[in-house]
Homo-oligomer: A and B are copies of this chain.
Amino acid sequence: MARVRIGDVAREAGVSLGTVSNALNHPEKVRPETRRVINETIERLGYLPNQSARMLAGGQSNVLGLVLPRLNHGSSLQIANGALTEARRHGYNLIMANANDDGALSERSARYLMGMQVDGILVQPVQSLEWEPAAMHAVPVIYLDVRSGSPGYYVSADNMGQGALIARHLVTHGATHIAVIGRTSSQQMKLRLTGIQDVLSAHPDIVLEVLDAGEWNVSGDGYSLGVSLMQRASHERPDVIIGLTDVLAAGAIAGALSAGAHVPDDLLVAGCDGNPLAWSGPVALTTCSPAGYEIGRKGIQLLLERIATQDALPHEAHERREEVVRPFLLPRASTGAAPTGGLTTVENRALSIPEFNMGAYL
């Protein structure tokens, strides 16, 4: 079906095959006039370069690959958006594969993309305790959002830092009794909690209560916890709720409101994983910057760096390098920041991330 070939274009445009190839790959080597004719012919004939042949013949694809573990979690979507943005900025295309939580499929997809001769790939592995980076790499690979001591290139979030950032923010807002909600089922959740605890260990006067509860860290769990915490007698009622995820925190706000409390007058609430999917609730949520977005961007940057240098250093073998994305605070109405009508300076800072789209995530 892929009828028309480069030779057809050349004949039709009255130039030689090599010239068409040059017009495509090294436009500067072709007289503008000729180039115009060629482009018109391409358009007229509907010529689509056969990418397989291009690659085989040894061009570079200008395409990067991204393998995601799933598509229903904010973190992966942020990574995808950040990676796409950054790839485009550098003139690269990005193609993605979704592993649907299947480790074997993730592996297969990564291998396929490598075999496809993309210039490099980003992999957010399906989480599992015994995860190890693949041994064989035909192209540069960067792993995202995993912790591993093995050689390789990694970009990950600073979960402890996120927890600490939020805790510090709340301490300066006069917290006296903090309830942390969420199941510490994953390493990431545990680290966030550790960050919070570290900060509060310097403030023995502040009551810290951890409700390691709920099944799935979904919004409904946050809601019930919000309701029950607000129904307590006033002397044992927390004045701050921190959700280990933004989704939980958003649920807690809804619960607190329906129990008749006012946020932030009666209660401060904050999340700590910067998940825009949870930001469309009634009260704007204080949380950190969306780490996933930055992970995606840094991942691409690191990848391009490796692609650029790998020719220079053919056999750098077993190096290990890890980039950590530092979070920054997004203070908003749920902890008393100036409500709507104008973004805070920090939100402006977030907006200065190229093409970062703060709203419209649902």
A residues engaging B (CB < 8 A)?
1-2, 46, 48-56, 63, 71-74, 77, 80-81, 84-85, 88, 93-98, 100, 105, 108-109, 111-117, 135-139, 216, 218-220, 223-224, 247, 251, 254-255, 257-258, 275-278, 280-282, 310, 355, 357, 359-362
Kindly state the separation between the CA atoms of A167 and B100 in the bound complex, as whole angstroms.
Answer: 35
- This chain's copy number in the assembly: 2
Complex: A94 Cα to B359 Cα, angstroms: 29
CA distance A360 to B53 in the complex (A): 42
CA distance A112 to B64 in the complex (A): 13
A223 touches B282 (CB 8 A): yes
CA distance A166 to B63 in the complex (A): 44
Which residues of chain B have C-beta atoms less than 8 A from A219's C-beta?
A: 280-282, 362
A96 CA to B55 CA, complexed, in Å: 19
In the complex the two chains form, is A72's CB within 8 Å of B1's CB?
Answer: no
How near does chain B come to A353, taking the closest CB pair, in angstroms?
A: 14
Nearest chain B CB to A93 CB, angstrom units: 6
Alpha-carbon distance A74/B362, docked complex (angstroms):
7
In Å, the complex CA distance between A257 and B226 comes to: 13
Q: In the complex the two chains form, what is the Cα distance from A276 to B55 in whole Å? A: 40
Q: Are A73 and B258 in contact (CB under 8 A)?
A: no
Task: List the B side residues contacting A357 at CB < 8 Å.
Answer: 72
CB <8 Å contact, B280 and A1: no
Contacts A81-B72, A280-B251, A281-B223; A97 near B98 (Cβ below 8 A): no
CA distance A105 to B218 in the complex (A): 35
Whether A81 and B77, one on each chain, are in contact in the complex, defined by CB atoms closer than 8 angstroms, is: no
Q: Of the candidates B100, B282, B310, which one forms a contact with A1 in the assembled complex, judged by CB atoms under 8 Å apart?
A: B310
